[in-house]
Structure formats: C-alpha cells, structure tokens
Structure 1
Amino acid sequence: MKYRLGTRKSELALKQSESIQKLLEKKGCLTELVLIESEGDTQTSKPLYEIEGDGPGLFTKRLEKALLERKVDLAVHSLKDLPTLQPPGLKVAATPKRESVSDCLVLLEDHFEASQYLGLKEKAVVGTSSLRRQAQLKAVRPDLEVISLRGNVPTRLNAVRSGKVDAVVLAEAGLNRLGTSLEGFRKQTLPLDRFVPAPGQGALAIEVREDCPKDLLEAIHTLNDAGAELATRIERRILRELEGGCTLPLGVLCQKDGKSLKVNAFLGVVAGGKGPQKGPVLWDSFHRFDILGTVEHTLVSQTVEYFRSRAHANQ
C-alpha cells in the first residue's frame, strides 16, 4: 500500500518531501506525493507580516485541511512555517535531523567590499520580507536600506543578479537542500550571536492525524531526532508564549552546551507602536537574551519573562 504524502509545490518543498519519502522507503513504507498549493505561495505581492493577519499557517493550512479531510496521510512542513498549535485531530509525529540553523547573506562576488562589515557597501539595499531579519540587519548596519522581497530562491537570487537589490538574506538550510549553484555570488554565513534564527529554522516536521495507521506512524517515528525535537520544542514554546508569528521579529535558538542547554533569543522593537507597519518598518531598538540551564520550563519561562518585561518598559 502507498500512503499519500502532502507537500507544497515549490522546488524546496518538493526536495524536502522527497528526502522524507526516500527515508520512509528505506523503512519499507511507500508513499506517493500529493502536491498542494499553499495560500502563502499564491499571495506573493505583500510581505508575510501584512497577510498573516488572516491567521497563522499561510504555508501549512491547506496541507492540514487535506490531512483532516483524509486526502493525504502525512504532510511535510518546514517547521518554522508550522503554527505552534495543531488543529484538533493532528499531531507532529517526527522532527528529523536538523539542517543548518543559520541565515546567510548572498551578494555578487565582485560587489564584495572587504572593508565593510558584511561586505556590503554603504547604504546598500538588502532584500528580505522577514521582520526579524530586517531588525537584525539594522542593528548591525543602521545605514542599510532593507526592503521587502519575497519569492523562491531563484527569484531572490535574480533580484541580486539584476541589481534590484545588492544582497538578500536566505535560510542556509534551503540553499543546502536545493543544492543551488552560487557561481558568481558570494555567500556569507551570518554569525548566530547577532543573527539569531527563527524558532524551528532548519528543521522539518512530519504531521499526521491522531488515528495515523500504526505501520506508517512507526516508520515516521524512526526518523525523529531527539536533539532536534527538544531544541525546537523549546524554541516554539517561547514563540507560543509570546504569541508570535510572522508579525513578531523574534529569533530563538536552543543548542546543547555540554550537559546543559543554551537559549539565545532576539526581539526587535518596532518604532511607533506594536506590530507591523504599512510601508518601511522603522526600528526603535532590539533586545537580546541568553540563558544556560537544564530545565526546559525554566529556560522558556525566564526567556519569556525577560521579553515581556522589556515590552512593558517600552510602553
């Protein structure tokens, strides 16, 4: 019997789903891909933070609907796209081994300026639709002009090649999974201490129904990586407690540090009030918080309390 694996239609989503398909096949579990176009893939004219007002899950809702309607038996998501609460009847069955958690900056090789931080000329134009990335860039290079830029990886690289922007910020995991040729470009992995990634970045999630067939569920469970599951669970708990999504410029990374866990977090503060703005986003300030510990609840609660106290102080 072949189970139906729901996936978005983008090249990256297909690469990710095909990788899971191959791993399941090695476990004796056959699947066929069912392509589903997500709302986020069709609404490309606005930044994500402007259209997420219709509710979270722009890239996942239609896949979850297909699961609930029994049109597919499992779905593969980029974990950072998946809301922190699943609809009744669904669950995340596995978080496979995590890819790179880092962001990277991509610019033309012959435009790199070694004397400037990040290799970008003064007042360079950088494309990204992520509020978090916008805030982090402005924190280290206030002179940069950061504009909203959406689209798949080739589209964004073409924006650099054509001169529409001087550089783009991308998730390194996506480039790695696609195996994208960067001939003529220069890629710089951004330091994690200044560019804290989105919660769950670099990880995949395999979502199923609560009544998932036993043989399929057992095969999926073998793909789970305990370290990735723990780290991303902590990151996403912090995101959930802060009631965030694409409208919150939040970065959270949980990593092993000896026998302990270390959480690094970043929160940008939008000038002129709460939430996203129409037009260019102006950044008042940003906050960073680091904590080392062994108790999951303590790591989450202290991180959340720090940011809540900062938000209260800014009111």
Structure 2
Amino acid sequence: MKYRLGTRKSELALKQSESIQKLLEKKGCFTELVLIESEGDTQISKPLYEIESEGPGLFTKRLEKALLENKIDLAVHSLKDLPTLQPAELKVAAIPKRESAHDCLILLDSQFDASQFMGLREKAVVGTSSLRRQAQLKAVRPDLEVVSLRGNVPTRLNAVRSGKVDAIVLAEAGLNRLGISLEGLRKQILPLERFVPAPGQGALAIEVRQDCPKDLLEAIQLLNDPATELSTQIERKILRELEGGCTLPLGVFCQKEGKTLNLKSFLGEEQGREQGVPVWVDFHRFDIQGAVEHTLVSQTVEYFRSRNHARK
C-alpha cells in the first residue's frame, strides 16, 4: 500500500518531500506525492508579514486542510512555516535532524567589497521579505537599503544576477537542499551571533492525523531526531508565548551541548511604517544558558515582554 504524502509544489518543497519519501522507503513505508498549491506560493505581490497578518499558516493550511479531509495521509512542512497552534485532529509525528540553521548572504562575486562588513558596499540594496532579516540587517548595517523581495529561490537569485538588488538573504538549508548553482555569485554564511534564525529554521516537520495508521506512524517516528525536536520545541514555545509568526521580527536558536542548552534570541522593535517600509527604533538580544527548558523559555519571554515587544 502507498500512503499519500502531501507537499507544496515549489522546487524546494518537492526536494524536501522527496528526501522524506526516500527515508520512509528505507523503513519499508512507501508513499506517493500529492502536490498542493499553498496560498504563500500564489500570493507573491505582497510581503509575507502583510499577508500573514490576515491569518497564520500561509504555506501550511491547505496541506492541513487536505489532511483533515483525508485527501492525504501525511504532510511535509518547513517547520518555521508551521503555526505553533495546530488543529486538534492533527499532530507532528516527527522532526528529522536539522540542516544548517544559518542565514546566508548572496551577492555577485564581482561586487564583493572586502573592506565592508558582510562584503557589501555602502548603501547597498538587499532584498528580503522577512521582517526578522530586515531588522537584523539594519541592526548591523544601518546604511543598507532593505527592500521586500518575494519569489522562489531561483527567482531571487536572478534578482541578484540581473542587478535588481545587490544582495539577498536566504536560509542556507534551502540552498543546500536545492543543490542550485551559484556560479558568479558569492555565498557568505552569516554568524548566528548577529543573525539569529527563525524558530525551527533548517528543520522539517512531518504532520499526520491523530488517527494515523500504526505502521505509517511507526515508520515516521523512526525519522525523528530527539536533539532537533528538543531545540525546536523550545524555540517554538517562545514564539507561541510571544504570539508571533511572520509578523514578529523574532529570531530564536537553541542548541544542546552536553547537558547544557544554549539559547540565542533577537527581537526588533518597530515604530510604524513609512511608505510600507518598517521604521526600526531598537534591536534587542537575549542569550541564556541552562539545563531546564521551562526556565529558558520563561526568562526569554519575560525579557522581551518587559520591553513591551510582545503582544501580551
């Protein structure tokens, strides 16, 4: 029997789903891909944070709807796209080992300026529709002109090659999974200390119904990576407590080293918009170490709430 694996239609989503499909095959569980177009793949004229303000799950809710209607048996998501609150009838069955959580900067090799931080000339134009990335870029290089840029990875790379923008910021995990050519381009991996990734960045989530067939559930659970599960659960708990999604310029990254959990977090403070462009008034970092998950979450949330950044 072949189970139905739901996936978005984008090249990156297909690569991610195919990788899970192959891993399941090795466990003796066979699937067929069911392609579903997400709202996020069709609504590309507006920045993500503007669309998501109308409701979460831009890249996931049509897949969840297909699960609820029994049109598919499992769905593969980028974990950072999955809302922290799920329908009661659904659950995340596994979070495989995380790929790189880093962001990376892509620019023309010929335009690299070794005298400048990040290799970008003064007042360079950088494209990204992520509020978090926009805030982090402005925090380290206030001179940059940061513009909204949507589209799949090849489209955004073409924006650099054509000179529409000087550079773009992408998740390194996506580039690695695509295996796409960067000929003529330079990739700069951005340090986690300054560019804290989105909660769950680099990880995938496999979602199923609560009444998932036992053999399918057991096969999926074999793909779960406990260390990734723990780290991303902490990241997503902070996101949930702060009631954020694409509309909150929040970065959270947790990594376990021995018995110690190291957590980095970032939140940008926005004071309105000028012609649709965010006006940043402050940027806050909070790093903490410890062994107790609840303490890390509560202290991080308390820090940001005390500065009136959270929505609670």
Match for residue 296 of structure 1 among 293, 298, 309 = 293
Query: 1:185 corresponds to which letter in structure 2?
Result: L
Partner of 1:6: 6
Separation (CA, whole Å) in 2 of partners of 1:242 and 1:29? 38
Partner of 2:123: 123
Partner of 2:65: 65
Separation (CA, whole Å) in 1 of partners of 2:166 and 2:143? 13
Partner of 1:226: 226
8 Å contact 2:135–2:283 — kept in the other structure?
yes
Partner of 2:154: 154
Separation (CA, whole Å) in 1 of partners of 2:255 and 2:227? 9
The 3-state SS of whatever aligns with 1:75 is strand
* Residue 108 (structure 1) shift: 0.3
Q: Deviation string for 1:170-218 (max 9, x for gaps)?
A: 0000000000110100000000000000000000000000000000000
Partner of 1:254: 254
- When the two chains are superposed, the root-mean-square deviation of aligned CA atoms in Å is 1.1
* Residue 278 (structure 1) shift: 5.6
Separation (CA, whole Å) in 1 of partners of 2:148 and 2:97? 31
* Residue 277 (structure 1) shift: 7.0
Separation (CA, whole Å) in 2 of partners of 1:24 and 1:110? 43
Separation (CA, whole Å) in 1 of partners of 2:86 and 2:259? 31
* Residue 53 (structure 1) shift: 2.1
Partner of 2:304: 307
TM-score, normalization: structure 1? 0.97
Partner of 2:193: 193
Separation (CA, whole Å) in 1 of partners of 2:220 and 2:212? 10
8 Å contact 2:269–2:309 — kept in the other structure?
no
Distance 1:11 1:277, change over 3 A: farther
Distance 1:213 1:29, change over 3 A: same
* Residue 54 (structure 1) shift: 2.0
* Residue 257 (structure 1) shift: 2.9
Q: Which runs of 4+ in 1 moved over 6 A?
A: none
The 3-state SS of whatever aligns with 1:186 is strand
Q: Any gaps of 5 or more consecutive residues in structure 2? A: none
TM-score, normalization: structure 2? 0.98
Q: Deviation string for 1:70-123 (max 9, x for gaps)?
A: 000000000000000111100000000100000000000000000000000000
Q: Deviation string for 1:272-314 (max 9, x for gaps)?
A: 4xxx77611111011000000111111100000000001279x
Separation (CA, whole Å) in 2 of partners of 1:204 and 1:312? 28
Partner of 1:286: 283
Matches within 5 A, 1:161-180: 161-180=161-180
Separation (CA, whole Å) in 1 of partners of 2:259 and 2:295? 16
Separation (CA, whole Å) in 1 of partners of 2:69 and 2:221? 23
